[in-house]
A = this chain, B = another copy of it.
Amino acid sequence: MIHPVPNLTTAQTGPLLPIEAHILNEVTTIEAWFREQWAKTPAPVMSSVDLRHAGFKLAPVDTNLFPAGYNNLNSDFIPLCVQALQSYLGNQCQRVLLLPENHTRNQFYHQSLLILRDMLLNAGYQVRLGNISFEQTQAQTFQVGDFDTLLLEPLLRQNDRVVLADYDPDLIILNNDLSAGIPDILQNITQRIEPTPQLGWAYRSKADHFRQYHDVVQEFAPLIHLDPWLINPIFSVVSDLDFMAKTGIDRLSAEVDAVLQQVKERYQLMEIESEPYVVVKADNGTYGMGIIIVHDASEIVNLNRKQRTKMAKIKGNQTVTQVLIQEGVYSLEKMADGAVAEPVVYMVGQYVVGGFYRVHRDLGVNDNLNSPGMHFEPLAFAKACNLPKYHHVDGHHRFYAYGVIARLAALAAAREAASIRGHHR
């Protein structure tokens, strides 16, 4: 579990960029504001946010409420995770039921799950793992590494509660993104379940998320006198699409052009020489699926059959009818070997607990790095996120800014959850 810290050429050297310095000058204001926000809207129990840092601009591009990848965190962060869990869950629960992705034999996912389970155990909670698949009536055991095993037990329904044969949990934590919808066994339960299953990818909308994020930024940026665009990608939403039948492709193309124009105007204003691009994302996609990079609206009209098929269906076999068009943010950050890197920030509740870099040797500064061939580089994030001041020397203090942007995205997710609760009330 001990990893070397990679030499990130742009992340660890050079003077602070204006946006980083700006955020670093406002620590007390920012932390006090977040405190008020979390009192109004509780943070998600766990989240991870993918960021892109273009130098002039630092923005979230994806917010995950069912994070895996705990195995990619530097073990130095684990105490922060444990402490944050104790703080967030407090005395409100004793027995946790963790519901992971099922039907997976992915060793990396099992490692992540093992760490998540042990963090909860070490925070002082009982933890057992359940299998939400109704087909599984037998417990399954997975060997993880040489020393550990994971036991996934079949779920039982007891009136309005989900239980194991001899275990009645008072908190259910979902680590399954419910791409295929909410299974019957989780319908209408009275136990506390985090996150709410309505935020599973069968229901969640990236558009909703970035609308909430937009509102969060409109409140936050003026507080520290920051141009909101510097932390908020321009976006638009197009609905009623059918990629296979080519329904709505012209509307999509026109809207892509509109977003590209807005970005171009901004670039001209700020004398940025890069070519604007947008990322078109399936509104309910995950796992880096259903994503295309577009530099010119004509590319949309000319999508070939393979590309349209790729956009039409995503994980859980869902049809894509709505997309998010999002301003592309170039990644300034590179590893020492030149590979493009994208920071991923992890949170437990309102606390930034760590992060790592997603790295892709074969892709460029405007590509989606969440694609085959990527790997992960753990990093000493957490120090910086919590105490910028004492890191003059090694330059880590710039990561404080990452922790701020990631928390703004987590706050947007918190408001998504609150709006669902409001809706159901």
Tell me the chain A residues, 75-100 only, with Cβ under 8 Å from chain B. 75-76, 78-80, 82-84, 86-87, 90-91, 94
B2, B35, B91, B351: the one within 8 Å of A36 (CB): B91
The secondary-structure label for the interface of chain A is helix
Task: Tell me if A382 counts as interface (CB < 8 A to partner B).
Answer: yes
Chain B residues with CB below 8 A from A156, complex form:
none
Copies, count: 2
Chain B residues with CB below 8 A from A254, complex form:
none
Task: Tell me if A27 counts as interface (CB < 8 A to partner B).
Answer: yes
A76 touching B76 in the complex, CB below 8 Å, given contacts A83-B84, A122-B31: yes
B27, B78, B394: the one within 8 Å of A121 (CB): B27
Task: Tell me if A383 counts as interface (CB < 8 A to partner B).
Answer: yes
Instruction: Find out whether the CB atom of A124 lies under 8 angstroms from the CB atom of B91.
Output: no
Expressed in whole angstroms, the Cα–Cα distance for A49 and B9 within the complex equals: 42
Instruction: Find out whether the CB atom of B83 lies under 8 angstroms from the CB atom of A126.
Output: no
Counting contact residues on chain A (CB < 8 A from B), the size range is 35 or more
Nearest CB of chain B from residue A404's CB, rounded to whole Å: 12
Instruction: Give me the interface of A with B, judged by CB distance under 8 Å.
Output: 1-2, 27-28, 30-36, 38-39, 75-76, 78-80, 82-84, 86-87, 90-91, 94, 115, 118-119, 121-126, 350-351, 382-383, 385-391, 393-394
Q: Beyond the given A28-B126, A33-B124, A87-B351, please list 14 additional residue pairs across the A-B interface where CB-CB is below 8 A.
A: A30-B124, A31-B86, A32-B124, A32-B125, A39-B90, A75-B391, A78-B383, A78-B387, A82-B387, A84-B87, A115-B390, A118-B389, A122-B388, A122-B389
